[in-house]
């Protein structure tokens, strides 16, 4: 059974940094691309970033480009999202999601339960 467990969320001041983690189990982690998707409380979903199975290819949504960095540790089955220069509009629940393929297919087959990030001004 695929399991994804996010951690690292919390309250941070505007302009601050935070590092999210996602511990994966139940599948061959290095064989699949992974993504981060966020959801503004009470609102819709927004794709944030994706990374290929090897980590060689990374992709970002325009609102986070240059501020967020996605990475992965395949030896420890963990996905990361380093967030810097945080803004109020980054406040959201952040989900990690497993892809269908080695490189991003754009479909999110399995999701974690999310971790809440609140950016205060």
In whole angstroms, the minimum distance from the beta carbon of 15 to another protein comes to: 26
Binder among 50, 70, 83, 86 for another protein (CB under 8 A): 50
Structure-block tokens of residue 27 = 């599948």
| Stretch of 22-30, 71-79, 84-92, 109-117 contacting another protein, by CB under 8 A | 109-117
State the CB neighbour count (10 A cutoff) for residue 77: 16
- Contact pick of 9, 21, 114, 116 for another protein (by CB under 8 A): 114
Q: Measured from the CB atom, is 85 or 100 closer to another protein?
A: 100
With vertex at residue 9, the alpha carbon angle to CA 64 and CA 17, rounded to the nearest 5 degrees, is: 50
Instruction: With CB under 8 A as the rule, give the number of residues binding another protein.
Output: 21
Indicate which single residue of 46, 55, 71, 101 sits in contact with another protein (rule: CB under 8 A).
Answer: 46
What is the DSSP secondary-structure string of 65-104? TTTEEEEEETTTTEEEEEE-S--GGG-EEEEEEE-SSSS-
């Amino acid at each position: 059974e695929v399991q994804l467990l996010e951690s690292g969320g919390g309250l941070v001041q505007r302009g601050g940094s935070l590092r999210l983690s996602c511990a994966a189990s139940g599948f061959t982690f290095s064989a699949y691309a992974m993504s981060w998707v966020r959801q503004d409380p009470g609102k819709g979903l927004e794709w944030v970033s994706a990374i290929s199975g090897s980590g060689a290819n990374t992709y970002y949504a325009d609102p986070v480009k240059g501020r967020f960095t996605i990475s992965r540790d395949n030896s420890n089955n963990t996905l990361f999202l380093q967030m810097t220069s945080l803004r109020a509009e980054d406040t959201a629940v952040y989900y990690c999601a497993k892809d269908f393929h080695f490189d991003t297919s754009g479909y999110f087959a399995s999701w974690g339960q999310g971790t809440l990030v609140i950016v205060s001004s």
